[in-house]
Structure 1
Amino acid sequence: MPKAEWNGEVIAESDDFQEVEGSIYFPPNSVKSEFLQTTSHNSTCPWKGVASYYNIVVNGKTNENAAWYYPKALEKAKNIENYVAFWKGVKVTK
């Protein structure tokens, strides 16, 4: 079962996931929201749309903008709308 871990905690875990361009996208209900902190950072993908980001906060440490999602994904990426992906040292295993 795919899972995302950082700083000794499992942040997300689910068999229901999407894999796009080498990133695992977890459904929102599989992500532990107590570890996420909304940020104002955004980025744009020409075919997925505008991504929003979360800081990951675990055991007093913050990993800035280490999770992202597409709240209003473009048509070709509707399958990952609101799904959460990770990077910046978050260990994601399949």
Structure 2
Amino acid sequence: MKAVVDGTTIAEAQQDDLAYIEGNWYFPRSSLVSEFFIESPTAYTCPWKGAAQYFDVKIGDKVVKDGAWSYSDLRPGAVERVGKDFAGFVAFDRSVTVAE
């Protein structure tokens, strides 16, 4: 699977290595091209996953504000609910194309 913005791959991993949660593919942090991600100050806390860290995705002059997010410190029960430890995995906004 790949996550792509304007033809540039920003993450790539085997589907078996991803987690599918609430309609979003979550990629392992190691699969990201880190140079495209900038931490965002946007705050959000999911009632069952915990506090999210948002990232702006920057490719050249294009910035996708809050285009990605991650949950590093999962709340109790989150792993059991998903069936996989997804701590630190990164999901993407709909403006990022995720496909095989």
Most deviating of 26-35 and 38-47: 38-47
For 1:34-49, what aligned pairs fall within 5 Å after superposition?
34-49=35-50
| Identical-pair percentage | 37
- In the alignment, which residue of structure 2 is the partner of 1:7? 6
The one of 84, 87, 94 aligned to 2:93: 87
For 1:10-89, what aligned pairs fall within 5 Å after superposition?
10-15=9-14, 16-78=17-79, 79-89=85-95
| Secondary structure of residue in 2 paired with 1:80 | coil
Structure 2 alignment gaps of length 5 or more:
80-84
| Secondary structure of residue in 2 paired with 1:34 | helix
Give the C-alpha shift of residue 42 in structure 1.
1.6
Q: Which AA in structure 1 matches 2:7?
A: G
Largest Rg, 1 or 2: 2
Cα distance in 1 for partners of 2:57, 2:97 equals 13
Q: Which AA in structure 1 matches 2:92?
A: F
Q: CA RMSD in A?
A: 1.1
Structure 1 alignment gaps of length 5 or more:
none
